[in-house]
């Protein structure tokens, strides 16, 4: 049987220490439910002794019936000169009423001498009595040996003595922490292997930070060396450069290493986005397994190979982690790519047809001008329909005019826009104020078209990106605008290119509305 590896998720504790991350109690409860459903073994959810918000979270979390995970509160060993039963932090851990607790203690003699300013023996005593007390309270105790790898390299015997003391005091799991994130995989492997040999009966965990970009690799090699629990955060959020990314660690363990561990892989893509949405952060497109580009193919030969046998350019089936294969349209794409992408729009399109050649030629011409259809599927669909004569124009933009004010008037709205459209021979003129000319045009265009198409009220602009395409042309440079829109049921992206940023924006806006109307 494959060895079981436990997963401890620290998104709600260590992940919350990342720059720009701020969870409300409601956020934490939602992520807790999400991770429990996904199937991790432990959820380290906060430090109840550090702030009232975390204690409030633990009070509310008691009402939840977790299906898979053990909830874990985090804190430190007791303070110098204080017995555990009198220590405020230990009391807070107990008040959280979690089945498991994680407590950290010093394993690096530098920290003992220079941070705690106590003797090495006194530090061992603190570790011992803290764990023994928590065990008398029936807690599952995870002991985090803080800065373990740095401590081991500085004084191997003392770092091991800290672990041995924790183990003999009743700790259920001993965590080897690469707190500074500066240890490389070969060191992690050798040291973990030596610790396992020295403490064969102890259950070891690995906790890696990503300061050298090796946190995932370090976690994997630690498992190979004998660790049976991996700690990390979903999508790798955390202090400085982040923590080991569990959205990469878990599939690597299960699909590559053949280990048995928690986590419903088919929901990995969805769960990563749920966590990112609540954390108000972005998942990079090129992130392994869960990035939007993780299985995106652009080169013509690569796409041809994938169409013939997906294993030729994909290390796994994307469906295993809930992701999807993407074929990207660009000037280096071949006809096979074009047909695959256009199949949903025009299933009758043949590879050698004049229409296919026309679409490919127009695509290359527009991309040479600056258009970018990889991220603008809606504009690509409209392009194909226009060339094939399948496009029905729902309105005609006759004119637009914008005007800005400086200084900005009190209360904002420094721009105004006027739009004139024609629908079935009927004219409609609308004006609006906005936070800039593009916003004003967007409001005015929707206002004019609502008279004819009430469903436009469902639409909202989700994202707006501008990129300068000719850096040497200064303010006269051509720009590309990408607009992401939504109607609550689906999202779509359109693109516009021009030397005038307002015109480029309007092209993308018009396409966005046309796409919405053409799919009703």
Q: Which residues contact 389 (CB under 8 A, 6 or more apart)?
A: none
Please answer whether residues 158 and 106 qualify as being in contact, where contact means their C-beta atoms are separated by less than 8 angstroms.
no
What is the helix (H) or strand (E) element at residue 458, kind and residue range?
Answer: none
Token duo for residue 375: 């991220």
Of the candidates 294, 338, 352, the residue with the CA atom closest to the CA atom of residue 318? 294
Quick: pLDDT tens for 475-496: 667 889 999 888 878 889 999 9
Q: Worst-scoring range by mean pLDDT, 154-163, 329-338, 439-448?
A: 329-338
The mean pLDDT of 404-422, rounded to a whole number, is 82
CA 216 to chain centre: 15
Assess whether pLDDT exceeds 80 at residue 410: no
Superfamily of domain 4-263: Aldolase class I (3.20.20.70)
Quick: pLDDT tens for 213-223: 999 999 999 99
Quick: pLDDT tens for 325-347: 776 655 555 556 666 677 778 88
Q: What CA–CA distance (Å, rounded) separates 475 from 409?
A: 26
Q: What CA–CA distance (Å, rounded) separates 258 from 244?
A: 19
Token duo for residue 35: 């991770």
Please answer whether residues 199 and 164 qualify as being in contact, where contact means their C-beta atoms are separated by less than 8 angstroms.
yes
How many residues belong to the chain? 520
Angle, in degrees to the nearest 10, between helices 52-61 and 25-38: 50
CA 486 to chain centre: 21
In three-state secondary structure terms, 474 is helix
Assess whether pLDDT exceeds 60 at residue 228: yes
**pLDDT at position 300:** 59
pLDDT band at 472 (very low <50, low <70, confident <90, very high): low
The mean pLDDT of 300-319, rounded to a whole number, is 75
Neighbouring-strand partners of residue 396: 422
Q: What CA–CA distance (Å, rounded) separates 242 from 221?
A: 19
Q: What CA–CA distance (Å, rounded) separates 370 from 120?
A: 65
Q: Is the peptide bond before 274 cis (omega within 30 degrees of 0)?
A: no
CA dihedral 330, 331, 336, 337 (to 10 degrees): 0
Give ranges for CATH 3.20.20.70 in the chain: 4-263
Q: What CA–CA distance (Å, rounded) separates 269 from 251?
A: 11
Please answer whether residues 45 and 86 qualify as being in contact, where contact means their C-beta atoms are separated by less than 8 angstroms.
no
In three-state secondary structure terms, 274 is helix
Q: Which residues contact 380 (CB under 8 A, 6 or more apart)?
A: 329, 341, 363, 373
**pLDDT at position 405:** 77
Token duo for residue 3: 């060895």
Q: Which residues contact 63 (CB under 8 A, 6 or more apart)?
A: none
**pLDDT at position 436:** 85
Of the candidates 210, 233, 230, 214, the residue with the CA atom closest to the CA atom of residue 281? 233
Averaged pLDDT score across all residues of the chain: 90
**pLDDT at position 328:** 66
**pLDDT at position 334:** 54
Please answer whether residues 93 and 138 qualify as being in contact, where contact means their C-beta atoms are separated by less than 8 angstroms.
no
**pLDDT at position 375:** 73
Assess whether pLDDT exceeds 70 at residue 276: yes
3-state SS, 329-357, equals: CCCCCCHHHHHHHHCCCCCCCCCCCHHHH
The mean pLDDT of 398-406, rounded to a whole number, is 87
Assess whether pLDDT exceeds 90 at residue 75: yes
């Amino acid at each position: 049987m494959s060895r079981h590896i436990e997963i401890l998720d620290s998104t709600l504790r260590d992940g919350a220490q990342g720059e720009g991350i701020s969870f409300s109690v409601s956020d934490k409860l939602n992520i807790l439910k999400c991770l429990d459903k996904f199937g991790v073994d432990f959820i380290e959810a906060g430090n109840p002794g550090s702030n009232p918000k975390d204690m409030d979270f633990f009070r509310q979390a008691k009402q939840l019936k977790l299906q898979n995970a053990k909830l874990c509160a985090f804190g430190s060993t007791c303070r110098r000169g204080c017995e555990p039963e009198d220590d405020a932090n230990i009391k807070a851990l107990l008040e959280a009423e979690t089945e498991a607790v994680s407590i950290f203690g010093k394993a690096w003699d530098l920290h003992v001498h220079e941070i705690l300013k106590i003797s090495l023996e006194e530090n061992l005593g603190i570790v011992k009595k803290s764990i023994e007390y928590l065990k008398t309270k029936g807690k599952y105790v995870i002991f985090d040996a803080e800065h373990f790898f740095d401590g081991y390299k500085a004084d191997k015997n003392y770092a091991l003595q800290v672990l041995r003391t924790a183990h003999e005091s009743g700790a259920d799991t001993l965590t080897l922490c690469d707190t500074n994130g500066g240890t490389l995989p070969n060191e992690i492997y050798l040291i973990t292997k030596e610790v396992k040999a020295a403490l064969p009966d102890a259950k070891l965990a690995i906790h890696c930070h990503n300061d050298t970009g090796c946190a995932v690799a370090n976690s994997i090699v630690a498992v190979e060396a004998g660790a049976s629990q991996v700690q990390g955060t979903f999508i790798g959020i955390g202090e400085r450069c982040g923590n080991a990314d569990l959205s990469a660690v878990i599939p690597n363990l299960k699909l590559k290493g053949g280990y048995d561990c928690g986590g419903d892989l088919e929901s990995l893509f969805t769960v990563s986005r749920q966590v990112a949405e609540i954390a108000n952060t972005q998942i990079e497109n090129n992130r392994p397994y869960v990035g939007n580009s993780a299985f995106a193919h652009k080169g013509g030969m690569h796409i041809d190979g994938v169409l013939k046998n997906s294993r030729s350019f994909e290390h796994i089936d994307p469906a295993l982690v809930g992701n999807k294969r993407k074929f990207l349209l660009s000037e280096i794409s071949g006809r096979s790519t074009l047909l695959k992408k256009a199949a949903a729009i025009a299933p009758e399109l043949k590879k050698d047809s004049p229409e296919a050649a026309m679409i490919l030629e127009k695509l290359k011409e527009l991309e040479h001008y600056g258009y970018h259809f990889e991220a603008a599927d809606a504009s690509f669909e409209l392009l194909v329909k226009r060339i094939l004569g399948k496009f029905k124009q729902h309105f005609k933009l006759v004119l637009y005019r914008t005007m800005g004010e400086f200084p900005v008037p009190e209360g904002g709205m420094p721009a105004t826009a006027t739009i004139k459209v024609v629908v079935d021979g009927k004219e409609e003129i609308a004006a609006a104020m906005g936070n800039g000319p593009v916003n004003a045009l967007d409001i005015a265009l929707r206002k004019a078209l609502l008279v004819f198409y009430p469903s436009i009220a469902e639409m909202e602009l989700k994202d707006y990106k501008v990129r300068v395409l000719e850096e040497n042309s200064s303010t006269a440079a051509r720009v590309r605008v990408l607009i992401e829109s939504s109607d609550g049921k689906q999202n779509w992206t359109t693109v516009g290119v021009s030397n005038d940023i307002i015109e480029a924006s309007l092209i993308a806006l018009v396409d966005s509305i046309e796409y919405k109307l053409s799919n009703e």
